[in-house]
Amino acid sequence: MNHTKPIQAEAASSAASAFSVIDALGFARLYRRPGALDGSIPMRGAQCQPFLDGNSAGWHLQLVDPAMLATDEGGPLLRLTDETLERITTGYDTRLATLVSRGLLEEDGLWHRELSGGPVVRNGQSLQLWTGLLLKPEPGLWLSVTRAFNRSVPVAVKPFVIAGDAWVPLVLEIAADPEAPAETWFDTDLACIQPLRPASQVRLTNLEDHPEPLHTIASFYSQEYLDRRKDQKYSGQYRQSAVAGSAPEEASACEFTVSLAGSINRVYVRRFERFATASGYTTEPPDGASYEFIEVSSEVDVELRWDRNNIRDIAIDPPDAPDQAHAGLVRIIGEERAERLRWWSSYVIPFLGPHRGEPFNNLMLQGFFETSTGWSAISDGISFPGLDGMRGIVRTDSFPSLPATHQFRRDGVFHFPRGQTVVRVFPVPRSLLNAGATITTHSESNLE
């Protein structure tokens, strides 16, 4: 294993490596994808920096060759090309034995036993897929493994965190999407690996006691800004104010302050409960580190209709909830400034205006979210029937507002039930969003 080479992020070639990778099978690959997703995003998306950052952050995983997920009476199965099947199964037992002899897998440990059944194993209504990769985070870091967002294979990937100072096989638990076609092609992004620094603590407060972030947002949405937007002119103000300029010194830990406004949303403080280590899965972090994130639920019932051209027939129950949210803003910043934020307190952004035909919906979270200097917030929308949760990243150390964003996968009526989680929010140092990785490729690993 002497032939390793650093693979740096496309947007930051000097980025330090956050984890190491060994490719044992040539089955899957990790890569850094561009923010514009190879030119496939809508024009409005290309003007939205949080969307671009959400697209490009982390390392995305694809299978080297396309495969197809199908279902029979025994549950889901993965159909591979003859060439792929030969490449990943020829000498498979020898490769596992070599991983054990080199100390990369514990002999007769959980991973050795699990992987001995082959790289793809049916497990009831899910598949256990070993990507052929082994990962090891750099000291002091974790690796969050989730489904891919914003461009992905339509399947469910059970999330987990890789932690510890040893090699861990990257094994995905995959379930078919009940709304996806009977045959689902694995020909785009399947999962995302995002390095995290486990040093985040959430502080919950309310807007009356901590109004500073509201003043920040009210100043951002000046009348001049709104007039430009009304004239359908691209502003670029977020990019200029939050992104431009020299990078601030990054705090070593994050105090994640959440200031709730009204009762439309509720915030829950969470910790990860599924860690993959060299010995198997555990519910507690092996390094004892502390990392808190939040889940935000909708405490009102929302129904709306998408007709492939615009969002219509928005119904919120109770219907006076947005007015109550607006009244709360008035009490703090006055009628004139609060009026400029009436769209914000409407919760569901009701009109797409000139941007018709773009199938996105935003729920403006009724609170403000502040991270420590140099930290951003990853906002991962939760999927609902016909609605694909999307990922955005906001520089919440200077712009403390977040949406829960979803993409329509069909036309019709959609429902956000009261009490359901609509988004998860994870603080992350910006230096890790484009962090590099050190990858030993399949041809270099010499495991046969």
Kindly state the average pLDDT of the residues 121-131: 92
Residue 13 has pLDDT above 50, yes or no: no
* 165: containing domain: 5-196+434-445
State how far the Cα of 424 lies from the Cα of 381, in Å rounded to an integer. Answer: 7
pLDDT at 11: 30
Kindly state the average pLDDT of the residues 253-278: 96
- Same domain (yes/no): 217, 167: no
How many Cβ atoms from other residues are within 10 Å of residue 252's Cβ? 11
Q: How many domains does the chain have?
A: 2
- Same domain (yes/no): 62, 188: yes
Q: How confident is the model at residue 349 (pLDDT cuts 50, 70, 90)?
A: confident
- Same domain (yes/no): 259, 382: yes
Percent of the chain with pLDDT over 70: 88
Per the model's pLDDT, the better-predicted residue between 107 and 36 turns out to be: 107
Q: How confident is the model at residue 46 (pLDDT cuts 50, 70, 90)?
A: low
pLDDT at 10: 34
Q: Which of 175, 189, 185 is nearest to 54 (CA)?
A: 189
Per the model's pLDDT, the better-predicted residue between 274 and 224 turns out to be: 274
Residue 376 has pLDDT above 90, yes or no: yes
How many Cβ atoms from other residues are within 10 Å of residue 380's Cβ? 26
Q: How confident is the model at residue 30 (pLDDT cuts 50, 70, 90)?
A: very high
- Same domain (yes/no): 404, 315: yes
pLDDT at 94: 94
State how far the Cα of 434 lies from the Cα of 436, in Å rounded to an integer. Answer: 7
pTM of the prediction? 0.92
- Same domain (yes/no): 67, 170: yes
Angle (CA) 70 72 73, round 5°: 155
Contact present, 171 and 260 (Cβ < 8 Å): no
- Same domain (yes/no): 10, 145: yes
How many Cβ atoms from other residues are within 10 Å of residue 282's Cβ? 14
State how far the Cα of 300 lies from the Cα of 144, in Å rounded to an integer. Answer: 30
Burial letters for 194-220: b for 16+ Cβ neighbours within 10 Å, e otherwise? bbbbbbbebeeeebeebbebbeebbeb
Q: How confident is the model at residue 357 (pLDDT cuts 50, 70, 90)?
A: confident
* DSSP letter assigned to residue 111: H
- Same domain (yes/no): 155, 213: no
- Same domain (yes/no): 426, 440: no
Q: What's the Cα-to-Cα distance from 118 to each of 13, 80, 105, rounded to whole Å? A: 36, 13, 15
Q: Which of 419, 402, 425, 150 is nearest to 302 (CA)?
A: 419
- Same domain (yes/no): 261, 167: no
- Same domain (yes/no): 284, 396: yes
DSSP states of 132-169 as a string?
EEEEEEPTT-EEEEEE--SS--SEEE--EEE-SSS-EE
**pLDDT, the chain, mean:** 89
State how far the Cα of 278 lies from the Cα of 164, in Å rounded to an integer. Answer: 8
State how far the Cα of 243 lies from the Cα of 279, in Å rounded to an integer. Answer: 41
- Same domain (yes/no): 166, 247: no
Give 272-311 pLDDT, tens digit per residue: 999 999 999 999 999 999 999 999 999 999 999 999 988 9
Residue 126 has pLDDT above 80, yes or no: yes
**Phi/psi class of residue 417: alpha, beta or left (left: φ > 0; alpha: ψ in -120 to 50)?**
beta
Q: How confident is the model at residue 233 (pLDDT cuts 50, 70, 90)?
A: low
Contact present, 355 and 44 (Cβ < 8 Å): yes
Name residues whose C-beta falls within 8 Å of residue 220's C-beta, 6 or more positions apart in sequence: 237, 238, 241, 399
Percent of the chain with pLDDT over 90: 75
- Same domain (yes/no): 157, 205: no
DSSP states of 56-97 as a string?
HSSEEEEESS-EEEEEETTEEEEE--HHHHHHHHTTHHHHHH
Contact present, 268 and 302 (Cβ < 8 Å): no
